[in-house]
Structure 1
Amino acid sequence: MKRTRGRVVHVESLADLDRRLDAGATRLGSWRVHRLDLVVHGARLRGCDVRGTTFLGCRFRPGDDDALVAAGALVLPDVGASPLDVYRPHLYTADELYDREPYSRSLDARAYAWSQRVPGRDDSLAASLHDHAIDEALDAFVAGRRIAGVMGGHATQRDDAGYVDAAQLGRLLGGDLTVATGGGPGAMEAANLGARLAGLDPAALETAVAVLATVPTFRPSIDAWVRTALDAVADLPEPRTTLGVPTWHYGHEPPNLFATAIAKYVGNPTREAVLLEICHAGIVFLPGAAGTVQEVFQDACENYYADEASVAPMVLVGREHWTESLPAWPLLQALARGRAMEQHVHLVDTVDEAAELLLP
């Protein structure tokens, strides 16, 4: 939740700034002012106590920024030519990432294009600052929540049986837990959808999946894929909270629109580690390929060295997939033997069984 009162206050619009100043605010020490054009506000701000105030990416009339710094404020300029707000105080929403049509003009597409060029010093600094800001926003989001992860293949299409299974898993978990995924298409989209609709009649999920199946994949048209997602949930009640953690490293796979909070990173290694770390209620691994296998053993490594109080359950769904197609299960069993994690790794056949193992 964005802080608008208390110890730290984020001011993100001129209307909010004027409202606060008009109400008599003069001590701005707890304020974080984000990317505002303050050219005509200099005199008014200089009349306030700005010791400890932080101005992030704001514009000033020449000399006003120096005066504010001299009075005790911290003024941090924009860094490089990044399309990203490197000082953003909260996670993304789908509306922010898909802010323009067609998709090629959206923030998500612009950020992906920027992230793929050979970085200069300012670009690298901007990426680091942005991902640090996402880290802080994600820390605030997960505080007090029990997070359950769902990992699975990005290639699962909306008209596949596996998509229905992932959506059902998200619905089962989402009633009591906050469901987190990698934030992309395929099984990740399905799990975020199911979690978003948790608590509604199961028919609501069935209807949404039927609408989505008319555009099974984001290829060749991301715009058609996005419009169908919006149509699928257009008339539904306020959604349950669900989290996506995607990355512009895989920017050719667009983020799904069903995560209500999106922690999108520039760098993938940080994103992978963070996604596994926050899932204290456990992780369900649906059938997937190389990326899912990597996540299985990255999570296994964390659990291998964990003490009894820190192990998070691991549930692999699909006996044939994990013992024959990609036989990760025998190795996982061997790793777990004799360790604190041994009683917390499971192989099941259905998403219903998986949900039972994670639900309180």
Structure 2
Amino acid sequence: MSDGTAQHPHDRMKGPVIERRGQIHDESTTDQRLLDSRGSTDWLHTDPWRVLRIQAEFVEGFGALAETGPAIAVFGSARTPVDHPFYAIGEEVGRKLVGAGFAVITGGGPGAMEAANKGACQAGGASLGLGIELPFESGLNEWVDKGINFRYFFARKTMFVKYSQGFVVLPGGLGTLDELFEALTLVQTRKVTSFPIVLIGTAYWQGMVDWLRDTVLAEGKINADDLDMMVLTDDVDEAVSLMVAAREDRWPTLAPERPE
């Protein structure tokens, strides 16, 4: 284990929420368990019970994140190796966002997400992780100081959008693309207030942007202004400055007018 664990030898679990280091505020417990195991357990697999479980995820998420303060979501591939240049860039992103007064929220996994959490944690800021139950990943990375592990993608996505003032997107795969296009769709359809969506890595993202312009826009499937919802850069300082501009209400509302 790295020195992140050595600095704080114990974690604090509060239901599905994990707290570490400076995010541990008390030692109280909230255990309330259903102890009666008699009878059939078929009820656990019915849709009404799933509704209660979904409700619980929203309640836990809102409760854990309500006092987060200004935060930026950082997305990127779980497959980014520690020795890859974009891992170092992820650390820089986390560190500089904290320096600008933001908390950092990631998907809580390895790779680029771990890098951003590490940068935020080592800079002394709030390092948060919203994990998801997957068959090929387990647990939150060690640099997450407060984390929630979700069963349902839609509950997790709600937390990202509700508690983030902007998105920084590092190179990633299908999960990263899912979060990116979810954010773009919400801004385009005015389901959320416009906020900055910054793609870091021009060599990686330029082909996608070109396709959106040369094919999707050319076919009339989007408006020209829709492309302005994204900013493409290699400069971490530029990305952070755009997040600061949004916090100070200097970020333009880019969602285009829609015909009635």
TM over 0.5, shorter chain: yes
Structure 2 residue corresponding to 1:132, chosen from 51, 55, 67: 55
Contact 1:34–1:58 at 8 Å: present in 2 too? no
Deviations along 1:207-262, one digit per CA (max 9) or x if unpaired, are: xxxxxxxxxxxxxxxxxxxxxxxxxxxxxxxxx32211111135535421211111
State the secondary structure of the residue aligned to 2:150. coil
Equivalent of 2:114 in 171, 186, 189: 189
Q: Which protein is bigger by CA-based radius of gyration?
A: 1
Q: How does 1:225-240 map to 2 (within 5 A)?
A: 240=125
3-state SS of the aligned residue for 2:195? coil
Residue in 1 that maps onto 2:250: none
- Is 1:258 equivalent to 2:123 in the alignment? no
In 2, Cα distance between the equivalents of 1:132 and 1:269? 12
1:256-275 per-position Cα deviation (integer Å, ceiling 9, x unaligned): 1211111111123332x224
Counterpart CA distance in 2 for 1:135 and 1:151 is 21
Q: What letter is aligned with 2:198?
A: V
Which of these residues, 179, 195, 198, is aligned with residue 312 of structure 1? 195
Report the secondary structure of 1:34's partner residue.
coil
> Contact 1:246–1:264 at 8 Å: present in 2 too?
yes
| Alignment partners' CA distance in 2, 1:291 and 1:127 | 24
Partner of 1:331: 212
Task: Say which SS state the counterpart of residue 78 (structure 2) adopts.
Answer: coil
Q: How far is 1:345 from its partner?
A: 2.4
Report the AA paired with residue 136 of structure 1: V
Q: Percent of counterpart pairs with the same letter?
A: 27
Contact kept, 8 Å, 1:181 with 1:188, in 2: the verdict is yes
Q: Return the letter of the residue paired with 1:185.
A: P
Question: Unmatched 5+ residue regions in structure 2?
Answer: 1-13, 15-26, 248-260
Q: Of residues 268, 276, 290 in structure 1, which corresponds to 2:160? A: 276
Distance 1:135 1:182 in 2: 16
Distance verdict in 2 for CA 1:323–1:338, change over 3 Å = closer
Moved over 6 A (4+): 77-81
Structure 2 matches for 1:1-360, cutoff 5 A?
34-35=31-32, 56-57=33-34, 121-123=43-45, 128-144=51-67, 145-175=69-99, 176-199=101-124, 240-271=125-156, 273-306=157-190, 310-324=193-207, 327-328=208-209, 331=212, 334=217, 335=222, 337-338=224-225, 342=228, 344-359=229-244, 360=247
Q: Which amino acid counterpart does residue 212 of structure 2 have in structure 1?
A: L
**Rounded Cα–Cα distance in structure 1 between residues aligned with 2:108 and 2:39:** 27
- Counterpart CA distance in 1 for 2:45 and 2:147 is 22
Change (3 A) 1:78 1:298: farther
**Bigger RCO of structures 1 and 2 (CA < 8 A, at least 6 apart):** 2
- Superposed displacement of residue 129, structure 1: 3.7
Query: Structure 1 pair 259/170, CA: closer, same or farther in 2 (3 Å)?
Result: same
RMSD (CA atoms): 3.3
